[in-house]
Amino acid sequence: MVVVNYNREEKRFYAEEISSMVLAKMREIAESFLGSTVNNVVITVPAYFNDSQRQATKDAGAIAGLNVLRIINEPTAAAIAYHLEMKNRDHGRRTVFVFDLGGGTLDVSLLVFDKDDIQVKAITGDTHLGGEDFDNNMVNYCVKEFLRKYKMDISGNPRALWRLRTACEKVKRTLSSTTMTIIELDSLYEGIDFHLSISRAKFEELNKDLFNKCMEFVETCLRYAKMHKSSVDDVVLVGGSTRIPKVQQLLRDLFDGKALHKNINADEAVAYGAAVHASILSGEFNKKLQKPLLREVTPLSLGLQEEGGIMKIIIPRNTLIPAKMEHVFTTHRDNQTNVLIHVYEGERQTTRDNNLLGNFVLQIPPAPRRVPQIRVCFEVDDESILSVTATEKSREITTKVTIINDKGRLSKEEIERMISEAKKFKAKDDMYRKKVEARHALEKHAYNMRHAIKDKEISLKLSPEDKENINDAIDYALKWLEVNEDAKLEEYDNMRNILSEVFNPIIVKMINEEDSSSNNNGKKRLLSILAKFALQTVYSIATDVNKASFEMNSVLLWGESKRNGKNSLLFSIGKILNSRGQFL
């Protein structure tokens, strides 16, 4: 369970629910771009995801209200993108190595392309190795440096660590294009500023073991595929972390100086390939292009438990699917009437170290030990769904089950409840999001105004009184935000309008003075400055005579209140609201 504070309430979420929120947002973005409803999806996952993780991903899609057509491996999706990118080139049969290093996972795959036939030969990887691990090593180094310099340990301060982690991620990106940079954090801990120079060489030293581990997976994948590195035609880079120069250098060295293929976008390749695969499954693939035939492999070995808890592998990892393999075993006790069959996935020799997928019971006639002959058949289809059939040979007693790993998985009732809750609270969540956006818009509007009047050219044209009026209004708005953290949506909008009604007439007057002096260049410069600070609407007000007149009356009321020595801000805002038929 994930515990978060949301909308001023503590809520508990399953990991699937969090994933479903991400998928729902992605659906919203896609529908906005396409202008149509999106119901069917292809979701990509790290190649080394086990069955439980894949099933949880499907559940997340269901909670988001999506029909998951297929779960495919990320490197395979990137390979589809590579296939289409190379479509116009006559290369014939090619062996391609896909190196996918993202923020949290490493996937490596070896594929063979033969015209439109894409065959995965081997996959491997680590679901806990990626860019975040490089960040963590830098954070640990900075914590030690802070302790050495200031004799203070910040490892127990979440806020300081969060700021440090953000800075380290930025430094990591910067070091991909430069050899030296600086971590600068003001008042990181107890008012102490932290400044540290870090070079690319130091970053590479800190992560040396992780980089070498990445290369070990490359060699392992080649070994699984029973191919020599010299037979690889292209090395395709996928994932943001492949931009790290050291990673690219190690790959070039491992493949004997081979140039790395960077023609496809490392960030978009997986999404692109998934979209192409979705178009194929939905029957909307461009007829001008030949459909690629995609053939995946099993990421982990599949087997059953033998006497003593030993894992008997039936379908080895990296077996091309669809696949069908069987094994014959016998009983270990006299007059045994049933056999409990446990199905596992994993690479360890003992089943307790592997992942249990499911179990079932086969009824058999009594017989002396080692006499019954029980044939167990494992079959994996194109959807990577495993079916297991057990047959007692003498009487042809057969039991067949489709293995669905329910361990730790949400029940059907839980999924339906979450779907219902997602729909029920959507309106509430949308309103909360709009309130947050309105609050941020008001704050940004206030600061943009302040930046605008601090601009040298505008500042010279404003009187001290005008500057004071605008600054007082900005100060009031920012103070109002501090004491009204949970205001209504319309209150945020009203306060933004109030700010504009103080700022706009002053700026309109300034623009009109430039206009009356026939100084078009000066007017254009002022408008461009306002545009820079997202205040372009001021010009439209200046061209609207009636609205400009109203705005001028508002600022006169503001100035009148100040001359009368009253609370200028509240008095003038009250008059503005009253003139609009609204009240504080």
Greatest mean pLDDT range, 238-252, 284-298, 336-350 = 238-252
Question: Residue 140 — very low, low, confident or very high, per pLDDT cuts 50/70/90?
Answer: very high
Peptide bond before 505: cis, by omega within 30 degrees of 0?
Answer: no
Q: How confident is the model at residue 533 (pLDDT cuts 50, 70, 90)?
A: low
What element of type H or E holds 16? helix 15-34
Residue 412 has pLDDT above 80, yes or no: no
Percent share of the chain, pLDDT over 70: 83
pLDDT of residue 565: 41
Greatest mean pLDDT range, 135-144, 366-375, 405-414: 135-144
pLDDT at 289: 56
Q: What is the rounded CA–CA span in Å between residue 240 and residue 84? A: 21
| Band of residue 433 on the pLDDT scale cut at 50, 70, 90 | confident
Closest Cα to residue 347, out of 307, 327, 317?
Answer: 317
pLDDT at 570: 38
Q: What is the pLDDT of residue 168?
A: 96
Whether pLDDT at 556 is above 70? no
The predicted structure's pLDDT at residue 6: 67
Average pLDDT, integer, range 341-346 = 89
For residue 559, pLDDT beyond 70:
no
Pairing mode, strands 293-295 and 323-329: unpaired
For residue 432, the Cα-to-chain-centroid distance in whole angstroms is 22
Higher pLDDT, 7 or 242: 242
- pLDDT score recorded for residue 232: 94
Q: How confident is the model at residue 397 (pLDDT cuts 50, 70, 90)?
A: confident
Query: How does residue 560 score in pLDDT terms, banded at 50, 70 and 90?
Result: very low
Q: Which domains does the chain have, with CATH numbers?
A: 131-208 (3.90.640.10), 297-402 (2.60.34.10), 415-559 (1.20.1270.10)
3-state secondary structure of 190: coil
pLDDT of residue 88: 60
Name 399's bridge partners. 390
Question: What pLDDT was estimated at residue 7?
Answer: 64
pLDDT value, residue 238: 93
Q: Phi and psi of 140, rounded to 5°?
A: -60, -40
pLDDT at 169: 95
Query: Would you say 469 and 558 are in contact if contact means Cβ atoms under 8 Å apart?
Result: yes
For 286, list phi and psi in degrees, rounded to 5. -60, 120
CB-CB contact of 360 with 395 (8 Å): no
pLDDT at 561: 42
Report residue 108's pLDDT band, with 50, 70 and 90 as the boundaries.
very high
What was the pLDDT predicted at 574?
38
At 69, the amino acid letter reads: L
Quick one: what percent of the chain has pLDDT higher than 90?
Answer: 33
pLDDT band at residue 424 under the 50/70/90 scheme: low
The two beta strands, 180-189 and 192-199, are: antiparallel
What pLDDT digit, counting tens, does each position of 448-503 carry?
888 888 888 888 888 888 888 888 988 988 889 888 877 888 888 888 888 888 88
pLDDT > 50? residue 557: no
Residue 420 pLDDT more than 90? no
Band of residue 428 on the pLDDT scale cut at 50, 70, 90? confident
Bridge partner list, 388: 378, 401
Strands 94-101 and 234-238: parallel
| Global pTM exceeds 0.75 | no
Q: Which residue has the higher pLDDT, 581 or 404?
A: 404
pLDDT, tens digit, 9 for 90 and up, residues 492-531: 888 888 888 888 888 888 877 766 665 666 667 777 767 7
Mean pLDDT computed over 408-430: 69
Q: Is the pLDDT of residue 572 over 70?
A: no
Burial class (CB in 10 A: 0-12, 13-18, 19+), 286: exposed
Q: Which range has the top average pLDDT, 50-64, 112-126, 139-153? A: 139-153
Helix, strand, coil % over all residues of the chain, rounded to 5? 50, 25, 30
Strand partners, 107: 100, 125
pLDDT averaged over every residue in the chain:
82
At 522 the pLDDT is: 67
Distances (CA, A) of 259 to 109, 234, 480: 18, 8, 59
